[in-house]
Structures are given as C-alpha cells and as structure tokens.
Amino acid sequence: MEYTEIVTEAISTLTVNKLRTGLATLGIVIGIGSVIALISLGQASAQAIQSQIQSLGSNLLTVQPSGQNQGGVRGAAGGGTTLTLEDAEAIQKSSQITTINKVSPEYSSRTQVTTGRTNTNTQVIGVTPVYAEIRKVQMDLGNFINEAQINSMAKVAVLGPTVVENLFGENANPIGQTIRISGQTFTIIGVTASRGGTGFQNQDDIVWVPISTAQKQLFGASHVTSIALEAKSADVMVDAQNQVGYLLLARHKLSDPADKDFSIFNQQDLLNTVNQTTGTFTTLLAGVAAISLLVGGIGIMNIMLVTVTERTREIGLRKALGAKKKVIITQFLVESIILTFVGGIIGTGVGILASYIISSFTSFPFVISPDSIILAFAVSAAIGILFGWYPAQKAANLQPIEALRYE
Amino acid sequence: MIQISHVSKIYKSGTVETVALNDVSFEIKKGEFAAIMGPSGSGKSTLMHILGALDTPTSGTYILDRENVEKLSDDQLAEIRNRKIGFVFQAFNLLPRRTALQNVMLPLVYAGVPKEERIERAKKYLDMVGLSDRLEHTSNQLSGGQQQRVAIARSLVLNPAILLADEPTGNIASSQAAEIMEIFQDLNKEGHTIIMITHEADIAQHAKRTIHIRDGRIVNDGNNHKQKKANK
C-alpha cells in the first residue's frame, strides 16, 4: 500500500465526521497557538525591555556613593556625599584608566518646578554636555546644555516632553519662556525627544540644568549624586569597573575594598538580570501553554479510541481480507498525525495572528522566532504519534473474529 | 485442496472448558461445492473460522492448498486469508461510504497490486456478477442482493483457492437469494471450490455435498446428488 494512498484514505475517513474531526483538531490548534503566542509574547517583552535599557546608553557604568557604615548603621545607597566633580575629572584624566571613553558627573534631585500658573514636581538633574552623548539624549526643539553655560553658571534649562506637557500643555513650544526652579528663574533652551518609560523611571519627566548651576545656585552642594561612564566596548566593562574602583579607593584614601563608599553598577549586569528574568518568564508561559497542548493530545487519543471502537467491524473486515498489523497501525497513526499536523498548521497561524494583535495593542515588537514554529510542528507530529500509538495498537491487535462479530 | 484432520477447538473461560469442535476430520477436493450444516451452537461457526484462517485449532492439522495453516502467526494468517480465501459474509461487510469498485479493490490493495491493475481486475469481477453499471454506487445505494454480489466480486478478485460463504443468503430477500445461489453454481461450474455454511436445508441443497455437524462432531457427510436421486 503506497503512502499517498494511505494518506488519501485517512483524509477521506477523517472528512466523514467533520464536526468530530474539527473538535479534536481544535485542542491541538489551541495548544500550538498558545505555545507560539506566549513564547512570542515572552520574547517580545524581553526585546522591549532590552532595547529600552540600551536606549539609555550602551556600555554604561554608573558610580554612586553608597551608604557608609557609621557606628554600625548603614546609610541608604545614593545618599552619600562622597563623590565629587574632582572624582569625575580624575577618572577622565587618570593615566591608569584606559577603558573609559566618556565621563558624565550628575547632580540629581527632586524639586518643585513652576510657571506663573502651573507647577509640577519633577527630577532636576545638573549635567555636563557629555550627558547627552552618554545617555543618547535626542533634541526635539532647541539645544542641550553647552560648556559655556556651565562655565557661566547660566540659568538655562532643557525640559523633557512630559514636563512641557505638565507645565505648558500638549504640543506647546516653550523655547525662550521661563520657569522657576526652587524660586529661581530659568530660561528654557531646549526640549528633548520622547524616550518613554524604562520601567524604572520616566525618562521624559526630567529638567536638565548646567551642573555648576545645580550645585551652587540651586542646591548648595559640592558633591555629585552619580557619575555615568561609557566604556570603550562591551568587552572591557569588567576591567573598567575594576580600574575605576581602584582609582576611587585610592582617591578616598581607603585601603580595604570592604570599606568602599561608592558602588559601581554595570549596565551589562542589569541586562543579564533582565534577560534571566524574562527568560524564566517565557519558560513559565511556554510551560502553561504546553499543558494545553498536552490536553489537546489527550483529546486526540480520546477521539482515536472512539474511532477504533466505532470501526471495530471495519478493522475486522480489513484483517479478514488480509490487512497485516503494520497496515492497520499505519492507517490509524497516519489519521492521528494528520489530525495533529493540521491542528499544528492552523495553530501556528492562530499563534502568529495572536502575537500580531498583541504587538499592535502594546508597545512590544512583533517577534516570531522560527524556532518556536519548528518546535510547534515537531511537537504536534510527536503528539500525533504518541497519542495515536495506543489506539492504533489496540486496533491492530483486534482479533478478526471478535471484530467481525462486534455489533 | 483442504485437509482437516483430528481438529479440536477448546475455549477456556476461567476453569470452564467448552469443546466447540471435537476431533473433526474431512477433506474437500478442488472444484467441490460443499455445504456445512448444523443448528446454532453446533460448532459450525468455529469450523468456519478455522477454515477461514481467522482462528487456529487447539489441536489437529489443517492443510490448505498444500500449506499447513494451524500454527501460523497473525500476519502469516492475514496473508493466507488475502491470497487463498475469498470470504462472503452474511452481513455482506462492505465498507460503508465506499463505492462498489473501492470495496472490490480492497483485497488487491493489501496484496500490493498496482493501482491501474486493481481497477481493471475489480471491474472485470463486478462485470462478472452483473454490476458493471453500479461501479460508483456506494453500498447504501445498493440492495441487499446487489451488496452480496459486490461481496462475491470482492472474494474472487484475487482468484483464491477456496470461496468461504457464511450464511450468504441470510440477510437477503428470497427472490435475490436464488440469484446469489445461481452465481455460486456458475462459479462452481467454472471450477471454483466453494464451502458454504448455512442452517437452511433448501439453501444447502444447492451444494453438491453436505456435511452435517452437531455438538462439535460430524454426524453425516453425504453427496446431495445421490440423496436427491434416492428421494425421487
């Protein structure tokens, strides 16, 4: 018996009871569809978070003062005053540090910002021009802060789009207008392009001012709250971390690394953590979907068992006319494989469609990995064989006399 | 052609043994038309299953067309049934929703005959039973007599050594039953060996020889022709 004939035979048998065939297939459609859609959802969310993190700057290290142990009480991280502009300059100039491209000292604080009529509470960050390069800030209107404005302690400000919206309304052009920060008047010189939230902080709800102005005019501080560093490449991140660490220990006259009054955060560590988390998340989603696939498989087995019982006479006749066990097994296996395979094809379509719909309603990218499709097909064929095997065996082992007698 | 010697069949159900056939021996020669008669429970169905290689005897030997059949595996028995035995059942046992042509081709499919040849041979035998105008009819579009004629065409399509008919007219109106018996007699005249199982004496009369079976034993084995003469 040629295979094309077995397949046409199986298809004609399956089309006899279309409703039952459809329902049996539906289980697999839902199973495969949800596996594909959920894997896609997991990968899409991972990509979205990664690209957001990377949009904040690549190969980024952040130095922050850490809480110091003072009489056994540990202060909050970032609350220290141990980092200074001189530390930043030293990192920039030191001959021992070979792995750092750019250094951006920052002074950040939350404060009230007002126009005459409106006000908002937002993040004010004192920065140098390097900030825009390291953090990949794009301008929508006007310019970012320049060197001359730092030297002159100019009272100029660059606003994020959310701040503009809160203070001036949507789509307003505030360039040249003034705002008051802690009671002092600043002229707006630029508005940044929107970057969206990162999951940690809204990157659009920030006011940038020259760092000198922030330290001396606004907050009266001599320290910086963080120093952002850009390493030359992703490969030297760990070296950069060590070099900066040793330099700062020396500068702060600390001999024991355990006493260090700063922490260095590596963006790669963050990315790895995020990848790990989203990976776990994706596996979890796929696991849940796999359960529905299993249920679909059991549905196929159930239908095949019903079919075997229903067609006992037919099987008996076929055996009486000379069908060998292998032929009967093949016939039933091919039927169940066709069921699951068709279910797999439709399910893949449904899964891709579902992922597309999800991506169009959210900010997630539309990601379908070929792996998940190959996996879906392999799994659906395997389910066909696995759950079709027992019913097929049952059919093949029927005794022709018993089967012929069966009413 | 067929040699049954000292065949017994014992069914065991727990500790209870039921003897269905008890030391049965007979021989059927090529070209014979034999009827096996007996009341229900006489063991004639068991005998038919053994003759049809659907079942194996508990003891004794069965030689069909020079081959020992009694100790073969399931698949070997399937091959014997395919090549050497043509079955005609009481309930016709055609595949539903398949055409007459597809039904007749089924044994050829299992024998591995190529598709073109299958169609040709199936048409030839359907023509022989007078159904050449019903090739594409499905079994539910045919009368009982027509269905049984399709089944006869199916049983002949591989030119088997014996034709085994189990109550072939049991489900058919009497007018059509006569047609079926005519076909059997024609086939017998052409040289086909036919064994027919029945409990109806008038149907058994169409055969040349009748083997009476009761309680698992042969009680009478005689030539119908001679008996008919004796009756006259």
Domain membership of residue B19 (yes or no) is no
Best of B50, B51, B74, B85 to mutate (most A CBs within 10 Å, chain A): B74
How far away is chain B from the Cα of A321, in angstroms, using its nearest Cα?
Answer: 5
Residue range A237-258: mean pLDDT, rounded: 88
Asked if B112 and A1 come within 8 Å (Cβ–Cβ), the reply is: yes
Residue range A326-337: mean pLDDT, rounded: 92
Strands (E), A193-321: 206-210, 226-231, 262-266
Specify the pLDDT at position A159.
Answer: 94
pLDDT higher than threshold 70 for residue A199: no
Residue range A382-406: mean pLDDT, rounded: 88
Percent of chain B with pLDDT over 70: 97
Which among B54, B55, B110 has CB closest to A323?
Answer: B110
- Classify residue A281 as exposed, middle or buried by CB count within 10 Å of its CB (0-12, 13-18, 19+): middle
DSSP characters over B2-33:
EEEEEEEEEEEETTEEEEEEEEEEEEE-TT-E
pLDDT higher than threshold 60 for residue B231: no
How far away is chain A from the Cα of B224, in angstroms, using its nearest Cα?
Answer: 30
> Binning pLDDT at 50, 70 and 90, where does residue B142 land?
very high
Which among B49, B75, B106 has CB closest to A401?
Answer: B49
Looking from the CA of A207 toward its CB, the CA atoms found within 13 Å total 34
Residue range B53-77: mean pLDDT, rounded: 89
Specify the pLDDT at position A390.
Answer: 93
Contacts of B105 in chain A (CB under 8 A): none
pLDDT higher than threshold 70 for residue B67: yes
Asked if B82 and A321 come within 8 Å (Cβ–Cβ), the reply is: yes
Give the phi and the psi of residue A236 in degrees, each rounded to 5.
-100, 15
Chain A nearest-CA residue for B112: A1
Contacts of B110 in chain A (CB under 8 A): 1, 318, 321-324, 327
pLDDT higher than threshold 50 for residue B230: no
> Binning pLDDT at 50, 70 and 90, where does residue B232 land?
very low
Asked if B111 and A318 come within 8 Å (Cβ–Cβ), the reply is: no
Q: B186-228 pLDDT, tens per residue?
A: 999 999 999 999 988 888 999 999 999 999 999 989 887 655 5
Which among A16, A319, A401 has CB closest to B78?
Answer: A319
Contacts of A404 in chain B (CB under 8 A): 54, 89, 93
Domain membership of residue B5 (yes or no) is no
Take residue A210 and report the two structure tokens written for it: 């020259």
Contacts of B83 in chain A (CB under 8 A): 322
Asked if B93 and A317 come within 8 Å (Cβ–Cβ), the reply is: yes
Chain B nearest-CA residue for A2: B112
How far away is chain A from the Cα of B7, in angstroms, using its nearest Cα?
Answer: 18
Residue range A193-208: mean pLDDT, rounded: 77
Domain membership of residue B193 (yes or no) is yes
User: For residues A157 and A189, is the Cβ–Cβ distance under 8 A?
Assistant: yes
Asked if B54 and A404 come within 8 Å (Cβ–Cβ), the reply is: yes
Contacts of B106 in chain A (CB under 8 A): 318, 321
Query: At what angle are helices A370-396 and A18-55 packed, to 10 degrees?
Result: 150
When divided into structural domains, chain B yields a total of 1
Asked if A16 and B97 come within 8 Å (Cβ–Cβ), the reply is: yes
CA distance A44 to A357: 13
User: For residues B195 and B164, is the Cβ–Cβ distance under 8 A?
Assistant: yes
A314 — contact with chain B (CB < 8 Å)? yes
Q: A35-94 pLDDT, tens per residue?
A: 899 888 888 888 888 887 777 777 889 998 876 555 445 545 556 778 899 999 999 888
Which among A313, A321, A327 has CB closest to B107?
Answer: A321
A254 — contact with chain B (CB < 8 Å)? no
Cα dihedral value A344, A349, A353, A355, nearest 10: 40
Residue range B146-165: mean pLDDT, rounded: 93
Which among A16, A322, A399 has CB closest to B111?
Answer: A322
> Binning pLDDT at 50, 70 and 90, where does residue B13 land?
confident
Specify the pLDDT at position A198.
Answer: 52
Chain B nearest-CA residue for A323: B110
Domain membership of residue B8 (yes or no) is no
Looking from the CA of B34 toward its CB, the CA atoms found within 13 Å total 22
What is the ipTM metric for this complex? Answer: 0.90
Which among B55, B75, B106 has CB closest to A324?
Answer: B75
Which among B75, B97, B110 has CB closest to A321?
Answer: B110
A393 — contact with chain B (CB < 8 Å)? no
Domain membership of residue B146 (yes or no) is yes
Which among A1, A313, A324 has CB closest to B78?
Answer: A324
pLDDT higher than threshold 80 for residue B128: yes
The distance in angstroms from the start CA to the end CA of chain A is 28
Write out the residues of chain B at the interface with chain A, using a CB-CB cutoff of 8 A: 49, 52, 54-55, 74-75, 78-79, 81-83, 87, 89, 93, 95, 97, 106-107, 109-112, 115, 154
Q: A213-240 pLDDT, tens per residue?
A: 999 999 888 899 999 999 988 888 888 9
Mean pLDDT for chain A overall:
87
Contacts of B97 in chain A (CB under 8 A): 16
Residue range A241-251: mean pLDDT, rounded: 90
Contacts of A1 in chain B (CB under 8 A): 109-110, 112
Best of A321, A399, A404, A406 to mutate (most B CBs within 10 Å, chain B): A321
CA distance A371 to A355: 15
Q: Where are the domains of chain A?
A: 3-52+273-405, 81-260
pLDDT higher than threshold 90 for residue A406: no
Domain membership of residue B105 (yes or no) is yes
Take residue A179 and report the two structure tokens written for it: 């705002």
A73 — contact with chain B (CB < 8 Å)? no
How far away is chain B from the Cα of A279, in angstroms, using its nearest Cα?
Answer: 52
What is the CATH number for B83? Answer: 3.40.50.300
Take residue A122 and report the two structure tokens written for it: 């937002």
Specify the pLDDT at position A1.
Answer: 58
Looking from the CA of B127 toward its CB, the CA atoms found within 13 Å total 6
How far away is chain B from the Cα of A25, in angstroms, using its nearest Cα?
Answer: 23
A5 — contact with chain B (CB < 8 Å)? yes
Chain A to chain B Cβ contacts (< 8 Å): 57
Specify the pLDDT at position A79.
Answer: 60
